[in-house]
Structure 1
Amino acid sequence: MKTADTAQSDPDFAGLIVRCAPKGKVDVLVALIRPFPPRSRPKVTIAASGGGTLTFDAGMAAAGAAVLLPDEVSAFAAGKWPMTPSLSVMVREGDSQIKGVVALNGLREAYHSLLANCGQ
C-alpha cells in the first residue's frame, strides 16, 4: 500500500493498494476512509505527475472502502507508474468526490516482488 500525501489529499482518501488477485494477476485499488455504497460504480481519474490523465469506470471492494480499478490499470502499475514520482487520483460517485495524491517511490520493486509471489 502507498499511503496518501496528507498535505495534498482529502481526509477521506487513504491511498493506493496493489494486491494479488486470482490467477496470478495483480489488482490495483484506491483505499478510502469514508466508504461508498457497495454497489457503486465510481469514475476514477488518475493523473501522473509526469503528464497523462486516464479515467476508468471502477467497482467496489472491501465493503465499499476500496475502489477496485479495472485490470488494465495493472499494466500501468507495472509499466509507466514506476517512472512517475506521484499520482493524483479523483474518485467520483454521484455528487461525491474524493481526491488524493500518492507518492510512488518503491513501487517498481514492490510490484515485481508481489507479482513473483502472487501465483504461489
Structure 2
Amino acid sequence: MHSVCTFAVASPSSIWKFTRTQGPKEGESFASISKTAETMQSDPEFAGLIVRCAPKGKIDVLVALIRPFPPRSHPRVTISSTGGGTQTFEASMAAAGAAVLLPDEVSAFAAGKWQTTPSLSVVVKESDTEIKGVVTLSGLREAYNSLAASCGQ
C-alpha cells in the first residue's frame, strides 16, 4: 500500500509532504513528512529535511541528499537557525547513504523550537565533501502534529 497525501498551507514553500511507506515487515508502515530545500540557497546535492516515525514511538530527523555517502560514514552535521544558534552533531547514514540520520536530541528540536524558527541552514561534512542547504520551516507545527498523530498506527 503506497498512499501519499499532501496538505497545502499558504505558499508552496510552506508545504510539508506527508508520505507513508511500507516497512520491511508485513503490515508495518512508517509515516514521514519532508520539506525540499530552498534551491537558490542550497547545493544541488542537498535535497531537504525528513521527519519520520521511528520504532518505539521515537521520531527521527534526517537530512536527504541527492548524492549518497558511503553507508558506514559518520558525517558531521552543523545546523544553524535564526535566533537558535549553531550546533554540530555526529550523524550516521540511513537509506543506503542517501539520508543522514541525526542523533535523537535533534528530534526534540523538531518537536519544539524549530516550530517557531523561520528556516534552518544545514552543512553536512564527510571527509573532504561539504554539502550545504537551507530549509524553510513554515508549516512545521501542523505537519509535525499530523505526523505524531499517525506514528504507531
- TM tier, shorter chain? over 0.9
Partner of 1:109 in structure 2? Answer: 142
CA distance, structure 2, for counterparts of residue 49 and residue 8 of structure 1: 15
Partner of 1:30 in structure 2? Answer: 63
TM-score, structure 1 normalization: 0.97
1:98 to 112, 122, 131: 131
Runs of 5+ unmatched residues, structure 2: 1-33
Partner of 1:2 in structure 2? Answer: 35
Runs of 5+ unmatched residues, structure 1: none
1:113 shift after superposition: 1.2
Compute the RMSD of aligned alpha carbons. 0.7
CA distance, structure 2, for counterparts of residue 23 and residue 115 of structure 1: 12
Q: Does 1:39 align with 2:72?
A: yes
Partner of 1:54 in structure 2? Answer: 87
Partner of 1:81 in structure 2? Answer: 114
CA distance, structure 2, for counterparts of residue 87 and residue 51 of structure 1: 9
CA distance, structure 2, for counterparts of residue 18 and residue 91 of structure 1: 17
Tell me the matched-pair count: 120
Higher Cα Rg, which structure: 2
Deviation >2 Å, runs of 4+? none
CA distance, structure 2, for counterparts of residue 119 and residue 56 of structure 1: 27
1:33 shift after superposition: 0.3
CA distance, structure 2, for counterparts of residue 102 and residue 70 of structure 1: 19
Structure 2 counterparts to residues 62-81 of structure 1, below 5 A = 62-81=95-114
CA distance, structure 1, for counterparts of residue 82 and residue 70 of structure 2: 30
Point out which structure has higher relative CO (alpha carbons under 8 A, 6+ apart): 1
Give, as a single letter, the amino acid of the residue that structure 2 aligns with 1:19. Answer: R
CA distance, structure 2, for counterparts of residue 3 and residue 17 of structure 1: 9
3-state secondary structure, aligned to 1:110? helix
Q: Does 1:11 align with 2:58?
A: no
Q: Percent identity?
A: 79
